[in-house]
Structure 1
Amino acid sequence: MSGIDFDQRANEHAQFREALRWIGEGEWFVREGDSVIAYDISSAEPAWAAPGLAECSSAGSVDDLAVHGNVVVAAFTCFEQPQDSESVAMTEGWEFTSGLVGVDSATGEQVWRTEQNIGSFPDVSRQRILAARVGGIVSVSYPNGEGLLVVDANTGEETDLGAAELLWANSDGSRLGVWDALTDSYRIQDRSGEAETGPVALGEARTDSLADDGGSVGLEGGVVLAEGDVRSGDDPVRVARFEGFDESFDIEWDAGSTVQIDQAIAVPGAVVLSYTDEDGRSGVIGLR
């Protein structure tokens, strides 16, 4: 059987190991310098290349990718790098351009292109992290909480969430569940920023035996706050608390032993908590 040897590629270059998350229906997308290349998974041959995608006059790079249906979203950074000089990528106040490009995943042709400047020097832009989310949207997060964008993968339409965090989105990406770091509260809003439901304050719930936070999962009706450490006891113990717009309650489980909640994620119809117990064994808890 022919195809791409992912293990071999991963050993050839560290970028390939990271790029294993950039896989579409039949292609594997790789960023190289300021370009994006698509490989056919079945033949391991290049399907298309989009060279010079950043379109920079001097230093430029494609920094991260997100694959969403028929569109590959690429983040790029451009800045002027003086010749015969050390890199100015971390120079405070140095001018640069941050951008996003939507590329047709079948042909490599540009579908849309936008530019934004967030951050105080070029390297901040180059550290952006893109993530494909439910509802045909991509989140663009910057280091050190300098900003969060929500981008429609098909059109490039942007919603600036500032210092807030995206915890939930509905099936078409028109409604967003947002945690506001400034007020420690959760709300449902539309893409224009208009609040539809909430907010519900999370501060009191976090301090009520939730100091060791095991993670927060946004839902349409509220937030699940997972415990960090769950101590064994004779009676069922709390593993999480649901703080909702209409009601709030504890979620209990007969742990049987002390466990550490590692991660909390939403799946269709449930919230799943992964854990490690005191003997090093791992498991999952499903919350409906």
Structure 2
Amino acid sequence: MDQDTQAAPARARLKARGLRGLPLRFVIPNVVTLLALCAGLTAIRLAVDGHFESAVLAIVVAAVLDGIDGRIARALKGSTRFGAELDSLADFIDFGVAPGLVLYFWSLHQLGTLGWVAVLFFAIAAALRLARFNVMIDDPDRPAWMAKFFTGMPAPAGAILVLLPLYLHLVFGFDATPKVSILEAIYVLLVALLMASRIPHYSGKSFGRVPRDKFIFVLFVVAAVLVLLAFFPMQMLIVLSLLYLTLIPASIRAYNTLAAADAKEEPDATQAPPA
């Protein structure tokens, strides 16, 4: 009896148990998620070694990979529940743990327990934000217009934003004294509150299509931002962080406007239905 004949019963048993091979379209998005996880863990190691600029760039890489893994899954029709859970676990490490530890190794360690408490609060806020996001995805009663907003600051945005004091240090070279560390700890707590709050933030997922008449302009802006990020990463991260902060009031106004319009369209529950 040859080897193929002997292996046939084993293959049949595996097939009966549902252990058949998965298409590659299910594997690729999860590989991208794991690469993002590796980038976040590498950021922690770089911070331990004192390479803070490289640690910042590793977190930025993790944020970029996190932004494209879901889009790759949707484009390949390879979205799975396993991938969604893996993405949440990776996001917690990349955007809840790594940024806080980078800041702690840089300057917050000077505050002792107070600095560590700020890191813990940031990680807790990130975990709560991700858990709420997972629950709200499965909510069928959400109006369609709410897809344009995130409830609370997204974890990747919080991770990029919370590192703003480190960007300023790398660009302007000020010393991280204990007084500066106290202000930094307060800033970390404020970002954590924004993540755990229900303040609406614009969702980039709502910008899926570009008008034809603005295609060249959008392409130019995206190329310019990428070039500036490549040559002046810390300066651009400062600018992008400040721009994001200025967008928060605009997000709140747009959310309230849509919510008021949606409330007017709802029929009055006290009126009798039309005949």
TM-score normalised by L of structure 2: 0.25
Higher share of residues assigned strand: 1
Structure number with the higher helix fraction is 2
TM-score by length of 1: 0.24
Which has the bigger relative contact order, CA under 8 A and spacing at least 6?
Answer: 2
